[in-house]
């Protein structure tokens, strides 16, 4: 792998960002940071989806233009990603001129190729999904299964994309490339959806939706969500049908496109077909994550349980987002649904970051200062011990998990290694060795532990960049090393710390903190 291109779903700006949005973006940032440790040439795209009837209606209710609403909410998403230290390369907005111009060219090319045609249509339209639904997709009461609202019966003459033309090719691709759809338990779901696909509407009449990119050569129609929103992954790279940019040639196909499970169908089927129609290679992997619930309940404005990431940081007085980043992406196994609760948040970050990793570093450095004035003597460094082997094994395991985008499982491997090191400290009892004046053995144990902490800091960096930086600084270690060089780039002999330099890298969150906050309100 000589480059790495990762994309997120682009968020619909009909409202402000919540922790469901944050879950995906943090996960993508963690994956991206890991691969920057391994690959020189990386690219991370995110952005906002800014057209459609919901934005048009919301703007009308507020008495502002759709563009003003998009500017306001897109800025809110950017500010939230800054708070969470999401280090994207590019942020695409579907109202950007660079996007709109290319979308029109894509639409025109598909018309010229015969993949888009005009057709009178009568169907059931769900404004929440911004999609036409089949009667068989509805609940027994005739409601949209996702929004629990009755779709509107719409009769229009729209442009349609020949999705059925690519049915067999998509099915063959999925079967021939097991890595294409992840997690693997989603494959059968998509194959079943493929059996019943029909051609899809890719435009709307301006009488129904005026807020959109105009269809080329047709003043009565605007381009509908699929050609518009899905194309962002290539328009951001400078794709154009007649003259793709060098950036596009360099980074496409995407190595992984990470999206929520509710839009897997649109990416696995619609997006694949559009790319095939354009003669563009499909992404290597499309990865669908689960949802985040709040106290085991689905987020809903009507229930009042929609939580903004900024509120969590504020309520827990967290100056850095590391704890929230770590908790969110470890809240569920790969592809499964996760849950957020204040109590779980405190317990998990206290256990893993404060008690396990933070305390291990703090007490080991303090012993090094107490017994050896913060100095690692050359004779303490001996290769081939069990902790060194366990650390190298953990590095490889974490790497394998990230190769499959299993972020939670990779974090568990890091914590498991930290547990192993903690047990090693308890079993070796360096304080007892010092008391018995076995200083050589004591020094060897402390070196092994601190070298293990360096490896933990490398592996933990994608999740908790600030905590990792603190660990590197307290160890006087170089954090600017590539992942494959970690095993050989060991702590060297010499003075690495002093008493004034040592402090908790993650202070324990008070177990009564959230309760006290609620009482104060």
* 123 is a domain residue: no
Most confident of 113-117, 120-124, 155-159: 113-117
* 437 is a domain residue: yes
CA dist 326 and 344 (Å) reads 12
pLDDT in tens, 281-317: 999 999 999 999 887 777 666 666 789 999 999 999 9
pLDDT of residue 298: 75
* 481 is a domain residue: yes
pLDDT surpassing 60 at residue 511: no
Count of domains forming the chain: 1
Q: What percent of the chain has pLDDT over 90?
A: 81
Higher-pLDDT residue of 420, 131: 420
* 488 is a domain residue: yes
pLDDT of residue 340: 92
**CATH number of the structural domain spanning residue 416:** 1.10.730.10
CA dist 142 and 126 (Å) reads 11
> What distances in angstroms separate CA 424 from CA 255, 380, 428, 448, 504, one per listed residue?
39, 16, 6, 10, 21
Give the domain range for residue 459: 342-501
Q: What percent of the chain has pLDDT over 70?
A: 96
* 396 is a domain residue: yes
CA dist 2 and 412 (Å) reads 28
Q: Which residues of 433-443 are buried (b: 16+ CB within 10 A; e: fewer)?
A: bbeeeebeebb
Cα 325 → chain centroid: 10
Q: Which active-site residues does the annotation give?
A: 18, 21, 126, 129, 144, 147, 298, 301
Task: State both tokens at 327.
Answer: 């908790």
Most confident of 59-68, 122-131, 496-505: 59-68
* 409 is a domain residue: yes
pLDDT of residue 515: 40
Confidence tier at 487 by pLDDT (50, 70, 90): confident
* 435 is a domain residue: yes
Query: Worst-scoring range by mean pLDDT, 123-132, 332-341, 469-478, 480-489?
Result: 123-132
Cα 43 → chain centroid: 14
Residue pair 294/342 in contact by the 8 Å Cβ criterion: no
Instruction: Give 510's DSSP letter.
Output: P
* 162 is a domain residue: no
For 306-369, give the DSSP string. ---HHHHHHHTT-SSSHHHHHHHHTSS-TTS-EEE-HHHHHHHHIIIIIIIIIHHHHHHHHHHH
pLDDT in tens, 317-332: 999 999 999 999 999 9
């Amino acid at each position: 792998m000589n480059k790495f291109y990762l994309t997120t779903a682009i968020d619909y700006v009909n409202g402000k960002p919540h922790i469901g949005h944050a879950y995906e973006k943090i996960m993508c940032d963690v994956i991206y940071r890991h691969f920057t440790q391994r690959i020189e040439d990386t690219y991370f795209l995110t952005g906002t989806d800014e057209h459609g009837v919901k934005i048009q209606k919301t703007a009308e209710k507020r008495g502002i233009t759709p563009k003003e609403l998009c500017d306001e909410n897109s800025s809110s998403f950017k500010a939230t990603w800054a708070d969470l230290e999401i280090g994207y390369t590019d942020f695409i907005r579907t109202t950007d001129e660079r996007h709109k111009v290319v979308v029109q060219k894509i639409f025109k090319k598909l018309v010229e190729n015969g993949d888009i045609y005009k057709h009178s249509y009568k169907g059931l339209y769900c404004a929440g999904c911004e999609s036409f639904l089949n009667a068989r997709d509805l609940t027994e009461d005739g409601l949209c299964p996702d929004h629990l609202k009755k779709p509107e019966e719409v009769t229009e003459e729209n442009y349609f994309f020949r999705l059925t033309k690519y049915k067999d090719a998509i099915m063959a691709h999925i079967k021939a490339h097991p890595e294409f759809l992840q997690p693997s338990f989603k494959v059968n779901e998509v194959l079943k959806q493929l059996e019943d696909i029909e051609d899809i509407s890719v435009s709307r009449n301006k009488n129904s939706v005026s807020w959109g990119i105009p269809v080329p050569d047709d003043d009565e129609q605007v381009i509908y969500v699929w050609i518009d929103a899905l194309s962002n992954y290539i328009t951001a790279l400078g794709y154009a049908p007649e003259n793709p940019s060098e950036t596009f040639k360099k980074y496409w196909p995407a190595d992984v496109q990470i999206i929520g499970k509710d839009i897997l169908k649109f990416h696995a089927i619609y997006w694949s077909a559009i790319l095939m129609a354009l003669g563009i290679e499909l992404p290597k992997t499309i990865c669908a994550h689960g949802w985040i619930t709040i106290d085991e309940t689905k987020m809903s404005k009507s229930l009042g349980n929609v939580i903004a990431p900024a509120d969590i940081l504020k309520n827990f007085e967290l100056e850095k987002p590391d704890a929230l980043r770590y908790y969110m992406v470890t809240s569920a196994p790969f592809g499964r649904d996760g849950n957020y609760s204040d109590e779980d948040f405190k317990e998990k970050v206290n256990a893993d970051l404060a008690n396990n990793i933070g305390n291990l570093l703090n007490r080991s450095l303090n012993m090094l200062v107490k017994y050896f004035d913060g100095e690692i003597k050359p004779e303490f460094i001996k290769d081939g011990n069990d902790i060194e082997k366990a650390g190298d094994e953990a590095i490889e395991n974490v790497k394998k998990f990230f190769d499959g985008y299993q972020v939670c499982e990779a974090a568990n491997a890091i914590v498991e290694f930290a547990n192993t090191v903690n047990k090693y400290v308890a079993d070796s009892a360096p304080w007892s060795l010092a008391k018995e004046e076995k200083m050589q053995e004591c020094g060897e144990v402390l070196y092994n532990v601190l070298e293990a902490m360096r490896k933990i800091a490398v592996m933990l960096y994608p999740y908790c960049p600030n905590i990792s930086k603190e660990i590197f600084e307290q160890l006087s270690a170089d954090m600017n090393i590539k992942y494959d060089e970690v095993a050989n780039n060991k702590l060297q002999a010499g003075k690495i710390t002093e008493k004034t330099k040592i402090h908790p890298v993650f202070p324990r969150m008070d177990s009564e903190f959230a309760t006290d906050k609620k009482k104060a309100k």
